[in-house]
Amino acid sequence: MKKRKFLLFTIFMLTLSMVLAACGGGNANEEADSGDGGEGTTEDKPKFMSILTGGTGGTYFPLGGAFANIVSDATGIDTNAETTGASAENMQSIKDKKGEIAFTQTDIASYATEGKLMFDGNPIDNIQAIGTLYPETIQIVTTEKSGIKSVEDLKGKRVSIGAPGSGTAANAEQILEVHGLTLDDIKKQDLSFDESVNGIKDGNIDAAFVTAGTPTAAVEELSATETVVIVPVEADKADELIEKYPYYTKDEVPSGAYKLGSAVPTVAVQAMLVVESGLSEQVVYDITKSIFENLDKVQHAKAKQINPENALNGVGIDVHPGAQKYFDEKGIKPAQ
């Protein structure tokens, strides 16, 4: 009988302890999740994030790797840089929830949100901006032995316009347009920057459009074995292009890059970072702050051109509230 009473008492105590634990568990979780610095709840904070970049021969990938390390260290979120087909592909991947942060060109981000050009009938409604980074220079790359000296000389030639899903193809089409050419006037190839360089080296193509920050690793590699020529976009054609497509700006490939003897005039769009709009305000604030306040940790030469004071210039799409919070704290506004 005593054993039975003891057993019943034990069962009662175990049941009571479980009830008390369940009642108190909500408060414990709330305390763990709330934080005192506005860090956001654990439900708001993903365990893993991907930064969608571009090909290994461009600028996005090395910068993305550096940014991933910075974000991981600052936020505690395991962040990784992934190689992709770049801008347009990245926008679709964000829509498909295959990444959280992405590099893109400003023009491509605008096309995506507006459902234009390559996004016709397929607008992307879940991307918002962190901010712009640096000029994406349109470099029309060839070699001295090709004999190509002008955009018009590309007619009938084998020309790479970038990887499928990249923004470079739109740039190529628009630049050809203001020079009186279409994609039908060239023997179009859809190659990544690395593939383009190898194609030029092997004699399989004659020239390639490369939209990337200068110096671009793939073009530097080409200059080690060939005399690189950058085909100019002259001022009058640049003006015509900018009038029709205002997200372009005048730019140049500087003297000394790729062993060039003098600067070459061309045009550029802006590189920018975007995020999946469903990320919490606090997470995006932390991402934005960590990147713009740790640029000294980025070894790539392009980091010197990234300035938070310019990050809202030419964005062209909505800024994520978390990024906006950071810029507001710093008193940063778009240029008038």
pTM of the predicted protein model: 0.73
pLDDT at 35 over 50: no
Q: Which tokens belong to 47? A: 């365990």
* Per-residue pLDDT reduced to its tens digit, 268-279: 999 999 999 999
Structural domains in the chain? 49-133+271-330 (3.40.190.10), 136-269 (3.40.190.10)
61 forms beta bridges with: none
* Per-residue pLDDT reduced to its tens digit, 40-63: 444 579 999 999 999 888 889 999
**Residue the block writes with tokens 């306040």:** 293
More confident residue, 248 or 283: 283
Q: Quick one: pLDDT at residue 336?
A: 66
Q: Which tokens belong to 263? A: 């600067």
pLDDT at 7 over 60: no
Asked if residues 129 and 274 have their Cβ atoms less than 8 Å apart, the reply is: yes
* Mean pLDDT along residues 109-115: 95
Mean residue pLDDT of the chain comes to 88
78's CB contacts (< 8 A; 6+ apart) are 47, 48, 49, 72
165's CB contacts (< 8 A; 6+ apart) are 84, 85, 86, 87, 88, 89, 92
Polymer length of the chain: 336
| pLDDT confidence tier of residue 165, bands split at 50, 70 and 90 | low
Q: What is the largest CA-CA distance in the chain?
A: 105
Q: Quick one: pLDDT at residue 20?
A: 42
